[in-house]
Amino acid sequence: MKIRLAIADNSLIRRDGIKAILQQHGFEVNYSFNCTETLNGHLTGVDILIWGADPEIPIDKRFVQTLKDSAPNLKIAILDEDNGIQPAIKAINSGVSAYITENVQKDELLFAIKYISQGKKYIDPSLTMKLFNKLSDFEDYISSLNTNLTLSQKEDDVLDLMLSGYANKEIAFRLFTTKKNIEDLRQNLIHKTGAKDNLSLILYKLHKKFIQS
């Protein structure tokens, strides 16, 4: 079965370029439109929306919910020129399925589309490498954390799911608990490890994985 897509981007050249690549590889592009246009009818029957990030439109939970109100099963792939780690994590935590940088190679873009069509989360590999490099930059900071902690299985599961880009609601669903319990557990982990925030928790988990491998 063909994967049906829509492309929203303020650059007509980029929009048409992505559309041509996708169609050449057997994808069905139902709609192509500007980010500032209304969504009326543009998401009907669409499986995946590729959204070229617009600085005027924040990628947050309200944005994601607005799109999913039009198409509840829609998967959203953000194509962004901002190559920072924080925007990627924020986007994934807001409920998007993929965060792809603007300079993505054709084969990687095609892989990302197929990957998220299976219900998985995707972050551009260049950002993954930045995150690992950040571990080196944060060596002194990481050493100040309590890395000798023994975490419970549930705490470890939550960190694994955070590392995979899942938001609190999705983590709660997968661990058969409530969103409030996950929020409380994450706050407890921040206090327990000495981390500053959620990004620091992810760095902490990456560090633990690196040490254990």
First CA to last CA distance, the chain: 39
Domains of the chain (ranges; CATH) run 4-124 (3.40.50.2300), 138-212 (1.10.10.10)
Q: Among residues 16, 74, 66, which one has the least CA distance to residue 45?
A: 74
Instruction: Grade residue 11 by pLDDT with cuts at 50, 70 and 90.
Output: very high
Instruction: Grade residue 91 by pLDDT with cuts at 50, 70 and 90.
Output: confident
Whole-number pLDDT of residue 113: 94
Quote the pTM value: 0.64
Instruction: Grade residue 134 by pLDDT with cuts at 50, 70 and 90.
Output: low
**Interval 178-197 mean pLDDT:** 87
Q: Among residues 132, 145, 153, which one has the least CA distance to residue 204?
A: 145
